[in-house]
A and B are shown apart, each in its own frame.
Chain A
Amino acid sequence: MSTTFAPPAEPIVTDTPTLGKPAPQPASIATDPTRPEQYLEVSMGPQHPSTHGVFRMNVVLDGEQVIKLKPVFGYLHRNHEKIAESETYLGNMPYTDRLDYLCSITNNWAYAIAVEKLGGIEVPERAEYIRVITGELTRLQNHAGLLGFLLQDMGASGTPLMYAFREREKVLDLLESLTGARMMCNYLRFGGVRVDLPAGWLDQAKAFLAEFPRFLDEFERLLVGNEILMERTQNVGVLSRELAISSAISGPMARASGLNYDIRKVDGYSIYNRFSFRVPLGSHGDVYDRYMMRFLEMRESVKILEQAMRDIPAGPIQNPAVKARLFRPKPGEAYGRIESPKGELGFYLISDGSGVPYRYRVRPPSLINLTVLEDLCLGHNVADVVAILGSVDIVMGEVDR
């Protein structure tokens, strides 16, 4: 990809409250080969409730301390990429819903962008606005859900998760009244979207959006300044900026490490260059920063949504030149990527001129963000592994495919 890296104009650097303690140095990882009996190998998962699905970690412990961690995945492998090579381009759209099953619209979007690049398809303006609105709503519900899950994993049973899900449910209702399904939306089409906004939908969405910042304020009061949470998450699972770059980490996780990289700004795909929003950046790269990053991103998403809902024009929602059925792009290849709520989601397609893709490859943010798990966990207590994994924000449907 020959994209020039253009840093956004005015990023926010998190000014997170700290307890003012010096950062604890991760204890030196000393392994004594003469005494192998002092190490305990524990298999965490795949049925462990904190592993967000079916994910397993082989953790080698010295007392409470992690000295080795090996992620094991593949329990949810369902041959997504190979199945896609026997399905039509349209038939693959509902399968992409099931990658990251919390945010189906952004999955549809990345795939639609890849196919549109392949077929040289233009998208009408109204459809682009609808994509931005539904995509940002998806980001809101993903981040709200993540905050709830992360806190639930760390032992804040119930309350934060229920508050977050109360809000997430409102977004899902909006998506259902538009697309027909709460989670498996299957909404985007090549060159547009499937159905237009129903009457009154925009007003409902505006009403929801007016209420949403109140939830963010409430949630911030609930747990952002909580000393127990800060003790538990600050200086835990620190990801350095260098490691984030060299392991291709993207999304909120990279930005929490201070890496100013948001594809909405860098690529300016769709119509994101029309909206004014800022990219939040963390300064420590620990679990707490990754947690805060979601709050700040939701606030920016609200700004984007307000602008998009104000400016949405009338017009067609689908490029009439595109036939969804019997769609046969010219031979060639294309890579479409977007900033999904979890990071860079990309689809790489090769067409041989027939009705099915010759090669179909997904670049899943969850999997690639998970590759640094061992580096984050070494030297920490086994209880911190749960918090670190929760802050990575994985969905196993996307990791295993």
Chain B
Amino acid sequence: MLGEGIIKGLAETARNFFGSYVRKERLTTVQYPEQRLPQIEATRNFPFLVFDGTDPDAGLRCVSCQICEKECPPKCIFIEKSKDKKPDAVGKPQFYPTVFNIDVSVCMSCQICVEVCPFEAIKMDVQYDYPTEDRFSALLFDKHELSKSNEYYHQIHPTEAAAVDAALAAEREAAAAKAATAAAAAAAKAAAATAVTSTQSNGATPAAAKPATPGAAADTSEAQPAGGEKR
């Protein structure tokens, strides 16, 4: 029958129209600025810098290695490296960025900077609305606008942040263990050296001190084989 297809189609539209009063999944529109959809956890928009603790200057994880600057496909990151070093979270002296700018009007949210960062210092934010009347400086984010706390990172990407924290804690533990081993070994070496000097009172020559070292190394290597081998 001519017109059957049209009637079938109209019946389908009617079913959707009346169904929208009954079934919630037929009503999919969200009235945007007033209503917002729940944030999806994996969402990414623009990068930000993570800092530990409360002070964004002292706790910034970035050590200004400039890998992200090199790898950024549209080259929207600009970093100036510091001349001096300051201790990072582990206590190791590191460089820090004196200038860290991201031009978010150029950024294409590809998150390659996050992938290549070896220090877990740069992560993706979920903030997507940056309305402004100034299209130049307002969209050029400097270090202070980019720095956000680790708590904020936990808030927006809980799963990912927990994994990152666990990895960093393991890294710190390993570093601390290594430092402790090194300190113990140094102490043992010093003790052995003093022991050698005290027994051989007629003068501690380097040749005389040498036979004592393997013994000291053997002592520490029992406790920490990795540290002992390295030495």
State which residues 274-288 of A face B: CB under 8 Å. Answer: none
Q: Is the CB of A180 within 8 A of B73?
A: no
B223 at the interface (CB under 8 A from A): no
Report 15 cross-chain contacts, Cβ distance below 8 Å, ordered by A residue. Answer: A94-B73, A166-B28, A176-B43, A179-B42, A180-B42, A180-B124, A184-B109, A198-B159, A218-B12, A224-B5, A226-B6, A228-B6, A324-B116, A325-B71, A325-B116
Contact of B40 among A87, A97, A176 (CB under 8 A): A176
Contact of B42 among A92, A176, A186, A229 (CB under 8 A): A176
A309 at the interface (CB under 8 A from B): no
Which A residue's beta carbon lies closest to that of B8? A221
Q: Is the CB of A221 within 8 A of B28?
A: no
A247 at the interface (CB under 8 A from B): no
| Distance between Cα atoms of A181 and B109 in the complex (Å) | 9
A273 at the interface (CB under 8 A from B): no
Q: Quick one: which of A88, A180, A181, A186 has the most chain B CB within 10 A?
A: A180
Enumerate chain A residues within 8 angstroms of B5, measured Cβ to Cβ: 17, 223-227, 229-230
Enumerate chain B residues within 8 angstroms of A272, measured Cβ to Cβ: none
Q: Is the CB of B40 within 8 A of A222?
A: no
Q: Nearest 9 A-B pairs (CB), nearest first?
A: A225-B5, A94-B110, A180-B44, A91-B73, A226-B5, A180-B42, A222-B12, A222-B9, A186-B110
A163 at the interface (CB under 8 A from B): yes
B171 → chain A closest CB, angstroms? 19
Given contacts A92-B73, A184-B110, A225-B5, contact A163 B16 (CB under 8 A): yes
B84 at the interface (CB under 8 A from A): no
Q: Is the CB of B40 within 8 A of A173?
A: yes
Q: Is the CB of B111 within 8 A of A221?
A: no
A81 at the interface (CB under 8 A from B): no
Enumerate chain B residues within 8 angstroms of A17, measured Cβ to Cβ: 5
State which residues 1-50 of B face A: CB under 8 Å. Answer: 2-6, 8-9, 11-13, 16, 28, 40-44
| Distance between Cα atoms of A166 and B72 in the complex (Å) | 34
B16 → chain A closest CB, angstroms? 7
Q: Is the CB of B9 within 8 A of A178?
A: no
Enumerate chain A residues within 8 angstroms of B41, measured Cβ to Cβ: 177, 198
A95 at the interface (CB under 8 A from B): yes
Given contacts A228-B6, A324-B115, A325-B116, contact A221 B12 (CB under 8 A): yes
B108 at the interface (CB under 8 A from A): yes
Q: Quick one: which of B4, B72, B109 has the most chain A CB within 10 A?
A: B109
Enumerate chain A residues within 8 angstroms of B9, measured Cβ to Cβ: 221-223, 225-226
B112 at the interface (CB under 8 A from A): yes
| Distance between Cα atoms of A222 and B115 in the complex (Å) | 46
Enumerate chain A residues within 8 angstroms of B12, measured Cβ to Cβ: 218, 221-222
| Distance between Cα atoms of A186 and B4 in the complex (Å) | 46
A41 at the interface (CB under 8 A from B): no
User: When each residue 148-188 of chain A gets 1 if its CB lies under 8 Å from chain B and 0 otherwise, what string results?
Assistant: 00000000000100010010010001001111110010100
Enumerate chain A residues within 8 angstroms of B116, measured Cβ to Cβ: 324-325
Contact of B4 among A97, A178, A225 (CB under 8 A): A225
User: When each residue 71-83 of chain B gets 1 if its CB lies under 8 Å from chain A and 0 otherwise, what string results?
Assistant: 1110000000000
Enumerate chain A residues within 8 angstroms of B6, measured Cβ to Cβ: 226-228
Which A residue's beta carbon lies closest to that of B9? A222
Given contacts A91-B72, A324-B116, 6 further A-B contacts (CB under 8 A): A173-B40, A177-B41, A195-B42, A221-B8, A227-B2, A227-B3
A194 at the interface (CB under 8 A from B): yes
Enumerate chain A residues within 8 angstroms of B8, measured Cβ to Cβ: 221-222, 225
Q: Is the CB of A184 within 8 A of B108?
A: yes
A101 → chain B closest CB, angstroms? 12
A386 at the interface (CB under 8 A from B): no
A216 at the interface (CB under 8 A from B): no
Given contacts A178-B42, A222-B9, A228-B6, contact A91 B71 (CB under 8 A): yes
Which A residue's beta carbon lies closest to that of B108? A94
Q: Is the CB of B28 within 8 A of A177?
A: no
Q: Is the CB of B73 within 8 A of A87?
A: yes
Given contacts A91-B112, A227-B2, contact A177 B13 (CB under 8 A): no
